Amino acid sequence: MKAEKIYSINFDFRKKEQKRILEYMQQRGYKLLGFKGVESDGQVAGIPVWFSVPYIRMAGEVKNIYQSLYKVYYVDSSMPSDKSIRMTALSEVVELGSKVTLQEDGSFTVESGGPENAILLVNNRAADSGTITAGLASLVNGNYAPFCSFKVVPQKPLRMEPNDKICLFAAPTVIRAGSVAAQAVSEGALFELDAPNNCLRLEMKQEGEGFNPISWGLPVAQVHSGDQLTRLMDSQH
């Protein structure tokens, strides 16, 4: 398997003003919430929080590191009442262009023959086994975490194509990674990290009301509280 590029979203709280904003957010229970984009022809079950980092754990230089390494997961039950993804099983690392089959016993088999730049999931369980929730998890801050979820019926293939869109929010919340959201929870930032642009430095706006990019020529779009996440994370918009 080829080596995947490392991407980084960085903050520097050593400056006086940024340190003051950090202390404000720490005192009020803020977390940094991240979402990652994907394209699919499947029925969306929800958009899980990809990573959730309490600001109380931050100091000085802070880096959020991820790689474009993917695993397929499934959840062998209905969505729990707190609407969070608890992965029943994870496949091995899967390259784009692969076909992944979920077998009757809950194991995965991986082979070539999937669509270009995407992963094809086939639920090979019995026709009467019911709908499951499945999606992709990727490596962020040292852990594989789900960033998309779809309803998958037996014998029907699901195409999942990760895109370069990342959406960030800072909010006083108890939301954890894997929690499913439908709308932006606060003012935030939307941007793309790709091979030529693999590092983004951001600073916090006053009282955590969004982000400003530092010395980067590509656009960072403002996201407003209440915006629909499914639309934001689609590369066609």
Give the pLDDT of residue 156.
87
Report the chain's terminal Cα–Cα distance, integer Å.
32
CB 35 within 8 A of CB 83: no
What does the radius of gyration of the chain's CA atoms come to, in whole angstroms? 18
Tokens of 46: 């929800």
Give the CA distances from residue 152 to residues 120, 133, 159, 163, in Å, rounded to whole numbers and listed in that order. 12, 6, 11, 21
Adjacent-strand bridge partners of 104: none
β-strand partners of 103? none
pLDDT at position 41, please? 86
At 230 the three-state DSSP class reads helix
Q: Whole-model pTM?
A: 0.91
pLDDT of residue 237: 47
Smallest CA-to-CA distance from 150 within 49, 36, 232, 73 is with 73
**Can you spell out the DSSP letters for 190-209?**
EEE-BTTB-EEEEEEPGGG-
Distance CA 4, CA 2 (A): 6
Determine the Cα–Cα distance for residues 37 and 165; give it in Å rounded to an integer.
Answer: 5
What is the per-residue pLDDT for 208? 72
Q: Residue 84: enclosing H or E segment and its boundaries?
A: none
Q: Tens-digit pLDDT profile for the chain (237 aa)?
A: 555 688 999 999 999 999 999 999 999 999 999 999 999 988 888 899 999 999 999 999 999 999 999 999 999 766 555 578 989 999 999 999 999 999 999 999 999 999 999 999 999 988 888 888 999 999 999 999 999 999 999 988 999 999 989 999 999 998 899 999 888 889 999 998 876 778 889 999 987 788 988 866 667 888 998 899 888 887 554
